[in-house]
Amino acid sequence: MAGRGKTSSPDEDVTTSFISTMTTPREIQKPIAVQEPDKKKEAPRLADEYEILYDPETDKEHPLERFRRSRRCKLFITREIARYLDRKTFITVSFREAIIYCVFLILITLITLGSTPLDMFYFSQAMETLYTKQEFDAGTGAKKTFYDINTMNDVWNYKLSIIHSLYHDFWYSKPDPYENPETLQENYFENKLIGMPQIRQVRVRNSSCELQESFTEPYKNCYGRYSFSNEDKEDFGTSDEWKYKDADESETASIDGILTNYNGGGYIALLQNINDKATQTIYKLRNGKWIDRGTRAVFIEFTIYNGNINLFCTFKIIFEFPPCGGVIPSHWNYVQKFIKYNDAYDMFIFVCEIIFCIFFIFYTIQKLVEIKTLKLKLFKSFWNWIDIVILVACYTTIILNILLYVVVNDRLPHLVSLKNQWNYASFDRMFYLHILYSYSFAVLIAFAFFRLLKYLNIVYVMHQLQCTIARAIPDILSYCVLFLYAYFAFALVGHFLFGSQLEDYKSFPMAVFALMRSSVGDFNYYKLVQADPFYGPVFFFAFIFFIGFILVNVFLAILVSKYEEVRSEVRIGGAKTFIGEMISLWALRILEKAECNWLLSQIERKRFEKKVRSPTEAIRQYLRQAGYSELEIELFFKKYDITDSKIAAMDEDKFSYRQGEREAPPPLTQKDILRYIIIQKLEYLENHYQAANRLIDEFLSKLSKFEAKR
């Protein structure tokens, strides 16, 4: 073996003699040869290995060399710059940045919690219960709720009933709504309407679709699906309610319904802030056939303010009239706090936002320094792209927040003024601007917390996990082609078989989402059987078996195999400094300055004991360097029952080579290895087969319960 002429430690003599003793009398497929490491050859590189960008001896003016020499430049050393310097500098800078970044995450958390108080949820639920869950008289003596509406007559009856929820027969429903009551305490109400509610409809033109020649006689008109090109903008009456107003005039934004997106303009009728007059307006529209075959959507829109919690709520009730007939009810409500910074907690959030801006400027300067120093090398790292996304989200969030503050201060006084109480107060611009701000801030929160994984790489366990994921990504992406192919095939089959009967499969995207829910156990097997007694169960069991049992487990197999590869490379690569060792070093320095001699001696003794490797671990390391896999090493140790105690006994008793040869078991052959591998796989399959049987038994018991309920 190489290195035989060099002096070696007693531990190495024992392990080397043991390997030669146990391996000489038998034949192994791979020869055991331990060689000295060749420094000229590159070792296997993991995810965080470094690249030399310059020669410190010749390139004295390189920015990295200036960072190394200058104390002033050391203040601007970031993790991305330090990864091209020495390992200890990299660990120290990463730990410092991680502490600062945790403060940044705490600020984001405080701003998020301060921007979404619990009162928003309860206010939204109160409005939803009041306008969508209360029963109303359907006109035939029957009671219905909002989501039971399915005819045009139900829509008119609902409009009459909602007036009683919008107005009350008290002081502000009198002819003068601003006349104060004699005793406000007796007539106190939590919510106040801002402006007047409005009813708006959008229509389509006649002949917006083509009739078949065979049906031109019974059908004189044809009203197709709604679209911006098919929208009818012509007046169909003499009153203002029958005249079209565009989105700029009505100050109403477009809105998404269940079927499609609808324009902000339309035909508008205002409901006055008096109960009787609002009821008269409803009857006027009903008798004038304001809703007819050309109507495709009707909206009831209003805004409510609650002074107790300082929140605004814009509520939009939507009735969609598809070309096939019927009514599809839905609603949209959004609660927000527009009047900010008026109490102590709001001022605390304001201070957090100021500190957030300071952090944002600090990270911008850091990124500019990295770009100047590393140039295009910076964009080779995945985490730098995440940093750029976070900076863009920060820019967008701050700009939208400032713009929202300006728009609110400009429009809110006009909307809540007494002069505007006889018009519809449109908060759409402010609400949609705040929605954009919320989306931008949500992206910032998601990527900011994801970025914390970047600093966990200096922890030994997280280093292995991140390297495993990085290694597995190419195989997973390749396998995703097969997985998505099978997944979308099942979704297409489900949409074709059940799309006309089940809501979960009414469209291809809904079918994909339904199968995703089925993968996590959220499914309704009874509906599939009811839709098709034969193909329903066949489709369900085929999807669960192929997608749930087989294809999903392949993902886990890929990750497990890559994790074993990473562990082997980490062991072969030798010791590497991580944050645990650095923290221990810093703690020792503190103890030295504190002159804790007894504690230092105990720590040194334990560190010395850890440095003394056991003979079995030394053998494992030699075998890894010789190119053996972990499975072959485990077979070697199990075949010869190698333990530390037996190695020590051999050294003490000085067993001869012949005695060891006589007592040695037969040599390890390729058949032994294959037999062991097959046994392990059979045990694995047997365990999974038993688990699958348990799952099938549980599933059959649930099916029997479903059948019993039928």
* Residue ranges of the binding site for Ca(2+): 641
Residue with tokens 């809110």: 412
User: Using CA atoms in the order 10, 16, 22, 24, what is the torsion angle rounded to 10 degrees?
Assistant: -140
User: Rounded CA gap, 668 and 671, in Å?
Assistant: 8
Q: How many CB atoms lie within 10 A of CB 710?
A: 7
Instruction: Tell me the sheet residues that pair with 136.
Output: 144
Q: Which residues of 657-696 are buried (b: 16+ CB within 10 A; e: fewer)?
A: eeebeeeeeeebeeeebeebeeeeeeeeeeeeeeeeeeee
CA nearest neighbour of 332 among 267, 401, 252: 252
DSSP string for residues in 526-551: HHHHHH-TTHHHHHHHHHIIIIIIII
User: Rounded CA gap, 536 and 525, in Å?
Assistant: 8
Q: How many CB atoms lie within 10 A of CB 58?
A: 8
Quote the tokens at residue 506: 């009414």
Quote the tokens at residue 649: 């006994």
**Secondary structure (H, E, C), 461-488:** HHHHHHHHHHHHHHHHHHHHHHHHHHHH
Burial class of residue 387, CB neighbours in 10 A (0-12, 13-18, 19+): buried
Give the list of residues 6+ apart from residue 642 with CB closer than 8 angstroms, or none. Answer: 18, 22, 616, 619, 636
Binding residues: 641
CA nearest neighbour of 202 among 225, 232, 222, 242: 232
Phi and psi dihedrals of 355, rounded to 5? -65, -35
User: Rounded CA gap, 299 and 255, in Å?
Assistant: 10
Q: Which residues of 199-222 are buried (b: 16+ CB within 10 A; e: fewer)?
A: bbbbbbbeebeeeeeeeeeeeeeb
CA nearest neighbour of 448 among 379, 371, 394: 394
Burial class of residue 397, CB neighbours in 10 A (0-12, 13-18, 19+): buried
CB–CB of 466/452 below 8 Å?
no
User: Rounded CA gap, 200 and 197, in Å?
Assistant: 10
Quote the tokens at residue 338: 């527009």
Give the list of residues 6+ apart from residue 636 with CB closer than 8 angstroms, or none. Answer: 623, 628, 642, 668
Give the list of residues 6+ apart from residue 619 with CB closer than 8 angstroms, or none. Answer: 15, 18, 19, 642
Q: Give the three-state DSSP class for 304.
A: strand
User: Rounded CA gap, 527 and 525, in Å?
Assistant: 5
DSSP string for residues in 625-672: HTT--HHHHHHHHHHHT--HHHHHHHHHHT--HHHHHHHSPPPP-HHH
Burial class of residue 345, CB neighbours in 10 A (0-12, 13-18, 19+): exposed
User: Rounded CA gap, 169 and 397, in Å?
Assistant: 44
